[in-house]
Amino acid sequence: GPQVIAGPVLVIPYIRPETETVTENGRQISRLTNVERELFLSPTTIAVDTVIMPERRRKAIYETVLFEARLSGRATFALPADLARYGVTPDQLHLDRAEIRMGVSDPRGLLSRNMLKVNGRAISLQPGKGLLATGNNGFFAFIDWTAASVLTVDYAYAVRGNGQVRLVPRGGRTDWSVASSWPHPGFGGDFLPADREVADTGFRARYSISN
């Protein structure tokens, strides 16, 4: 179906003490328990290049246009300087159990040419654990971010779909370049391209979105 693309997003589990009130023997008792939650970090910057290859399909008198979108990108992450404002302290973070999550609204369209590197090192990808913007569909990778320095994520994957492809701008700055041989594009969504070129041989568009 139509594809919505989101991520990468860095997800870090953390333990936070919380007070809960329970009833024991008819009396209300408050006690402190440790609850595991997840901190979601968007990239400070993200740059994505997308090449869309259309394919016409006919059945009887009907025609539909499918596409294969090949995406490659780079995202950078850093712990917020004001982390305490979120009610989280660095010692509560389980950085060795962090995850990189990628959202794809219809993962049936994912192809096999997928790659993700963290600071230059290839990481194994797992199905599932997408993002809310894509109906929690997508894929993810376990990482160890114990160093808690700037994290650079390079990725490339391909996905098939039809109708449209949309990108959710999750970065502090998002730059998205799109190119295709399709000569009849429609530009929608909440942001229009910063610039675009449309010709008989196809189109190019570039989006630049701040936080």
Whether the CB-CB separation of 59 and 104 falls below 8 Å is answered with: no
Residue 207, burial from CB neighbour count under 10 angstroms (0-12, 13-18, 19+):
buried
Per-residue pLDDT band at 98 (split at 50, 70, 90): very high
Residue 2, pLDDT > 80, answer yes
Residue 84, burial from CB neighbour count under 10 angstroms (0-12, 13-18, 19+):
exposed
Mean pLDDT of 93-118: 94
- What is the rounded distance in angstroms from the CA atom of residue 44 to the CA atom of residue 78? 7
Of 7-11, 27-31, 71-75, 134-138, give the lowest mean pLDDT range.
27-31
- pTM of this structure: 0.88
Per-residue pLDDT band at 111 (split at 50, 70, 90): very high
Q: What percent of the chain has pLDDT above 70?
A: 100
Cis peptide before 8 (omega within 30 of 0): yes
pLDDT at 24: 81
Whether the CB-CB separation of 169 and 43 falls below 8 Å is answered with: no
pLDDT at 60: 79
pLDDT at 154: 97
| Residue 42 DSSP code | -
For residue 78, the one-letter residue type is A
Mean pLDDT of 43-63: 90
Instruction: Return the closest-CA partner of residue 137 out of 176, 115, 117, 110.
Output: 110
pLDDT at 31: 82
Residue 52, pLDDT > 90, answer yes
- Cα separations (Å) of 188 from 5, 74, 164, 166, 191? 15, 24, 10, 9, 7
- What is the rounded distance in angstroms from the CA atom of residue 145 to the CA atom of residue 32? 29
Whether the CB-CB separation of 3 and 159 falls below 8 Å is answered with: yes
pLDDT at 83: 87
Arithmetic mean of pLDDT over the chain: 92
Residue with the bigger pLDDT between 196 and 16: it is 196
Residue 29, pLDDT > 90, answer no
Mean pLDDT of 128-148: 92
